[in-house]
Structure 1
Amino acid sequence: MSKAGEIRVLALGLIRDGERIFVSEGYDPAKQSTFYRALGGGVDFGETSLIALKREFQEEIQAELTNIRYLGCIENLFIFNGRQGHEIIQLYQCDFADSKFYQLESLFFSESPNHKHRALWINIERFKSGELTLVPTEFFNYL
């Protein structure tokens, strides 16, 4: 998590397979609500967002990416756990190099020792209908 008053730069990968996308599940304790977002993570000083994207997928779920294409930049202002957040998201469209990832129902990964996350395939219609929450909402422009 970023410190107060800090803007985070993220590289996220939008992976689509027909009518479903691969997302990570998050939970906001203050709102007591579950949300979903594309996988990826923070860009470190001195690395490009493309390199960060590849590194994050490798670190988090041991996945190689292929067919990587830059989609655009999203500026995301939000409240998480009662605190203001600000992110600049470099969004990429990509595919998994290994087809085994398309067969998975879901998988668990760790961002840090005490943070377990679930990544899973979800039908886009479930987000569009409002049944599930996809963040940031600008994401819909790329689906």
Structure 2
Amino acid sequence: MNKSGEIRVIVLGLIRDGERIFVSEGYDPAKQSIFYRALGGGVDFGETSYAALQREFQEEIQAELTNIRYLGCIENLFIYNNRQGHEIIQLYQCDFADSKFYQLESLIFSESVTHHHRALWVDIARFKSGELRLVPEEFFNYL
């Protein structure tokens, strides 16, 4: 988590396959709740969000992206683990270049040595019904 008072620029990739989207599972220890969000990560200084998107997918799940299209910008103010967060999200729609990713049930990837996450396909209906929590909420505007 970042230092307080810092705005983080991140990039997320919305990958849709029919009525399902590819998301990573997160857990908030303070709220003791599971949440989901699209894959992506931080944009480095001197790097475009487009380049960061490709790098993050390569680093995290060794995936090449194709049909990358800019969707928009989301400003996300949130509380995670009892700490305030502030993100500027550059959101892109994209597809996996390799069709094998569409066959996956789920996969485990490492953001760092200590942080392991699960990425999986989830039916959009499960988010819309409120059964599962998709963050940030504004994400629904793009589904």
User: Which of the five TM-score ranges fits, normalised by the shorter chain?
Assistant: over 0.9
Q: How far does residue 4 in structure 1 lie from its aligned partner after superposition?
A: 1.0
Q: How far did residue 3 of structure 1 move? A: 1.1
Cross-structure match for 2:56 = 56
Deviation at 1:10, TM superposition (A): 0.4
Whole-Å Cα distance in 2 between the matches of residues 97 and 76 of structure 1?
29
Residue of structure 2 equivalent to 1:36: 36
SS in 1 for 2:31: coil
Aligned residues: 143
Offset, 1:91: 0.1
Cα deviation per residue 1:36-71 (whole Å; 9 max; x = unaligned)? 000000000000000000000000000000000000
Question: Residues 84-141 of structure 1: CA distance to partner in whole angstroms, max 9, x if unpaired?
Answer: 0000000000000000000000000000001000000000000000000000000000
| Counterpart for residue 5 of structure 1 | 5
Alignment partners' CA distance in 2, 1:107 and 1:34? 17
Letter in 1 for 2:48: T
Percent identical residues:
87
Partner in structure 1 of residue 114 of structure 2: 114
Name 2:23's counterpart in structure 1. 23
**Which structure 1 residue ranges, 5 or more long, are not aligned?**
none
Measure, in 1, the Cα distance between the counterparts of 2:31 and 2:11.
25
Q: How does 1:81-100 map to 2 (within 5 A)?
A: 81-100=81-100
What amino acid is the match of 1:24? S
In structure 2, the partner of 1:103 is: 103
